[in-house]
Each structure stands twice: as C-alpha cells, then as structure tokens.
Structure 1
Amino acid sequence: MPTLLLNLRHVPEDEADEVRRLLQEQSIGFFETPPSRWGVSAGSIWLSDESQAVQALDALRYYQQQRRDSSRAAYEAARRDGSGATLWSELRARPLRLLAALLAAAALVALCALPYFLLRG
C-alpha cells in the first residue's frame, strides 16, 4: 500500500528536487501525484513500498535537519553582514503592497463595525 512521504504544499521546488534525488540515491521507490488544477491538492511524494517507509523517513529527517542548519547559518551570515531582508527594506521595496494591506485591513474593520452602527439606533 502506498505511503505518503511528503505533501508538496509550500515546499520550494529546489527542496522537492533534492528529496527526489535523495530517494533515488537510496534506491527507494516512489511516485508523485500532481497538484490539482484548482489548488485543492498541492501534490505529494508517495512511497511505492511500505516496507521502505522507515528508511525513507530516516533519510528525510536527516536531510531536513541538514537543510534547516544550512538555512539558519545563511540567515545568520546575511544578518551579520547586513544583506538580509529587514522590515524597513521590504517596505521601501514594496510600498504599494503595504498600502494595499492597510486598505484591506481598514475595509475589514469597517465591515465588522457596520452592524454595530446599523443596529445602534
């Protein structure tokens, strides 16, 4: 019976490629389901043979620890040398995005407050 190894929702393409390569290097049989047309399913990587599940999960766990450690090191290095993204740099790079978010928040507050004002009196 197939076993779900990795749901691909919010998984970067480079990470998915590295997981595929890892499974091939370990000679673990797998197949993929594609994402659905309307975004209900993001696709998944499944193991063909349930008996390889422990080996695959151990390999995936080790890979994810290595990826986490390298990502944290890269983040710390960028923060130390000042090249990392900050709130201020993001606001300067995308001011219209900030304005749109503020307008959307104001619209939501207005919609939530509307029944109060309509029923008040």
Structure 2
Amino acid sequence: MAKLLFRLNGVDESEADEVRALLEEFDTYETHAGRWGLSVAAIWLKDEDAFDDARAVIDDYQQQRSERLQQEFSQQPIVPFWQRVQQRPADHIAVAIAIALVLALMVWPFTNW
C-alpha cells in the first residue's frame, strides 16, 4: 500500500522540483490538489519498505535547504521603517488613510453627530 512521503500543499515549485529529483531512485507517484485545492497534493511512496530511506533523503535535503535559506536571509540588510516610507510614500499614505477610514466607520455608530 502507498504511503504519504511529502506534502506539496504550500511548497514552492523550486523545492518541489528538487524533491522530485531526489526521489527519482524511489518508486513514487504524485497526486494534485484538484481544481479547488481540496485534495492532498503530495508525493506518495509505493513501496512501504523503502519509506525510512526515502524519508531520510528528504529530511537531509530539508535540513540543508533550511541552513542555506537562513544564511541567505541573514546576509540581507534590514531596511529601517522610515527608509521604507521614503522609498514608497504613496503606499504608506494609502494604508494610513484606509486604517483611518476603518477606525472612523467603527467609531461612527457611537458618536452623536
């Protein structure tokens, strides 16, 4: 009987392609989420006896990917808030107006205007 090996729901396409390449030596098949995304999009292993080996390959890959992404993230500079406001002032003004409008609509029933 087939055994669920790797869920693909919410996984980047690049990661899914790398996992597919790693699992070429195993007998697997793939299911899709369907038109409305209600089913399980996953990679299934046909041979249950090879599950531990396949899972070890995926766990090792995910550990390496996690370390690589953490390293890439730590090398990116952190942009201060005011610098982001200076880069895109219209976006921040629009968000501030939207927040003020929502707050005004929430408070309006309680005022005596």
Superposition TM-score, scaled by structure 1 size = 0.68
SS of 2:76's partner is: helix
Q: Give the match for residue 60 of structure 2.
A: 62
Structure 2 runs not aligned, ≥5 long: none
Q: Give the match for residue 16 of structure 1.
A: 16
1:11 and 1:94 map into 2 onto residues whose CA distance is 33
User: Please, what is the CA RMSD of the aligned residues?
Assistant: 3.3
SS of 1:71's partner is: helix
Greater Rg, structure 1 or structure 2?
2
One-letter amino acid matched to 2:37: G
Point out 4+ residue stretches in structure 1 off by more than 6 angstroms.
Answer: none
For 1:43, which of 31, 41, 44 is the aligned residue?
Answer: 41
1:17 and 1:54 map into 2 onto residues whose CA distance is 21
Question: Residues 1-121 of structure 1: matches in 2 within 5 Å?
Answer: 1-24=1-24, 27-41=25-39, 43-79=41-77, 86=79, 88=81, 99=94, 103=98
Check 1:57–1:97 CA distance in 2 against 1; reply closer, same or farther (3 A cut): farther
Q: Percent identity?
A: 31
SS of 1:66's partner is: helix
One-letter amino acid matched to 2:56: D
* Partner deviation per Cα, 1:91-112 (whole Å, 9 max, x = no partner): 6559659956x858x75xx68x
2:36 and 2:69 map into 1 onto residues whose CA distance is 31
Structure 1 runs not aligned, ≥5 long: none
SS of 1:5's partner is: strand
Check 1:62–1:90 CA distance in 2 against 1; reply closer, same or farther (3 A cut): farther
Check 1:96–1:19 CA distance in 2 against 1; reply closer, same or farther (3 A cut): same
